[in-house]
Amino acid sequence: MVEFNNINELFERVYPCLKLKKKLLYLQGVDVSIKFIWDYFTDDWKNSINLTLYDMVNDIMMLDVNNLKEV
């Protein structure tokens, strides 16, 4: 089990995934920052119980362009 001492360690761990998702969204015509994607999820994740790194990466990669347009 992977544990993180603070939010910065967690961000660094998922950064490659965030960067990839930013690029994929850009290719779909949506230009958002990595910070925007991170902020999009962090409020929901704070309330989650037993959230795993796998869950976070899955959430990021499954983010749909249509969901972003609702924000």
Give per-residue pLDDT as tens, 23-67: 999 999 999 999 999 999 998 888 888 889 999 999 999 999 887
pTM: 0.87
Tokens of 26: 């850009």
Tokens 């230009």 -> residue: 31
Check residue 70 and report its DSSP letter. T
Q: What are the tokens at 60? A: 């990021």
Residue 3 token pair: 């544990």
* Residue type (1 letter), 38: W
Specify the pLDDT at position 31. 93
